[in-house]
Amino acid sequence: MTTAVEIGDDADAVAPSVQRRIYGRRQSHRIRPARRRLLENRLPDIQIRLPEDGSAINLDELPSQQARSFWLEVGFGGGEHLAEQAAANPDVLLVGCEPYVNGVARLLSLIENADNVRVVIDDARLLLKALPTASLDRIFVLFPDPWPKTRHHKRRIVNPETLSDMARILKPGGELRLATDIMSYARSMLSSTLANGQFDWLAQGPDDWRKRPEDWPQTRYEAKARTAGRSPVFFRFLRR
C-alpha cells in the first residue's frame, strides 16, 4: 500500500529508551477498495505523526474546535469502542493509537466525518513518551495482546514502564481503564498499577471489576472472549 503509514523497524528518533518494535500484525488481509479510499483520503486529515525531533505533541493544536477533554485509546483494534465513545462524547477529543492498518481502515469506516478523532499509526509506547505531562483525562487499554508465555511477558503493553508514562501524562483525577480476559495478565495489571503508587483502584466490590460499566462499549475482543467462555475483567483507576 502507498498510504504514508509506514513504521520503521527498530528505528527510534523519539525516545531512545524504547525501541519501535511492533510484535503483532501491521496488515493482514487485503484492504477493500472503499476502506483503502478512506486511508488515502480521510486519514491524512486526522493522522498525527510522532515528532521525529523528540519534542512533545501539542494536543491543544489538534482539535478543530475546543475540546473539553482528551482521551487516548491504546491498541483500538477495529475501533468499535473508540468510535462509540467519540459519538457519545462530541466535546472530547479521542486519540487512538493502533499499528494495525486494517484496524485503522475499519475505524475510519465507523467514524465517518466525526471531527473529534485523531489517529496515531505507531507503537503506543513511543506515543506515551511524546505526550505532555498531565495532558490527558482518560486512557483506555482494552484487551491488549496477552503474550501468555512467560518469556514473552516483557512484550505486554501494560507494564511498570508504560504505567509510569501513563501516570505522567494523565491529569490528576484522570482515569485509566484496563480490560483483559487473561487472568495472569489481569493479576499483573492490577499489581503493577497499584505498585506504581499514583493510582487508586475504584472498585468497592467484585461487580465493579466483573461487570463492564454502561459507558464502556464492548470491543470485538471482549465478544470473542465471551464466545470462548472467558469472563473478562474491567479495571478503573484514578490518577491521584
Minimum CB separation of residue 66 from ligand SAM in Å reads 27
Minimum CB separation of residue 100 from ligand SAM in Å reads 4
Site for ligand SAM in 7-26 (CB under 6 A): 22, 24
Which stretch, 51-59, 104-112, 122-130, 159-167, contacts ligand SAM (CB under 6 A)? 122-130
Site for ligand SAM in 42-81 (CB under 6 A): 74-77
Q: Is position 175 an interface residue for ligand SAM (rule: CB under 6 A)?
A: no
Task: State the Cα–Cα distance between residues 215 and 55, nearest whole angstrom.
Answer: 34
Minimum CB separation of residue 81 from ligand SAM in Å reads 7
Q: In this complex, which beta carbon is closest to ligand SAM, that of residue 67 or of residue 107?
A: 107
Which stretch, 158-166, 170-178, 204-212, 219-227, contacts ligand SAM (CB under 6 A)? 219-227
Q: Is position 181 an interface residue for ligand SAM (rule: CB under 6 A)?
A: no
Closest CA to 42 of 106, 126, 125: 106
Q: Contact with ligand SAM (CB under 6 A): which of 18, 62, 132, 145?
A: 145
In SS3 terms, the chain reads as CCCCCCCCCCCCCCCCCCCCCCCCCCCCCCCCHHHHHHHHHCHHHHECCCCCCCCCCCHHHCCCCCCCEEEEEECCCCCHHHHHHHHHCCCEEEEEECCCHHHHHHHHHHHCCCCCEEEECCCHHHHHHHCCCCCEEEEEEECCCCCCCHHHHHHCCCCHHHHHHHHHHEEEEEEEEEEECCHHHHHHHHHHHHHHCCEEECCCCCHHHHCCCCCCCCCHHHHHHHHCCCCCEEEEEEEC
Q: In this complex, which beta carbon is closest to ligand SAM, that of residue 70 or of residue 140?
A: 140
Neighbour-count burial of 27, counting CB atoms closer than 10 A to its CB (0-12 exposed, 13-18 middle, 19+ buried): middle
Which stretch, 143-151, 159-167, 168-176, 196-204, contacts ligand SAM (CB under 6 A)? 143-151
Q: Is position 98 an interface residue for ligand SAM (rule: CB under 6 A)?
A: yes
* Residues with catalytic roles: 145
Q: Contact with ligand SAM (CB under 6 A): which of 99, 116, 128, 192?
A: 99
Q: Is position 103 an interface residue for ligand SAM (rule: CB under 6 A)?
A: yes
For ligand SAM, the binding residues (CB under 6 A) are 22, 24, 74-77, 97-100, 103, 123-125, 142-145, 157, 219-222
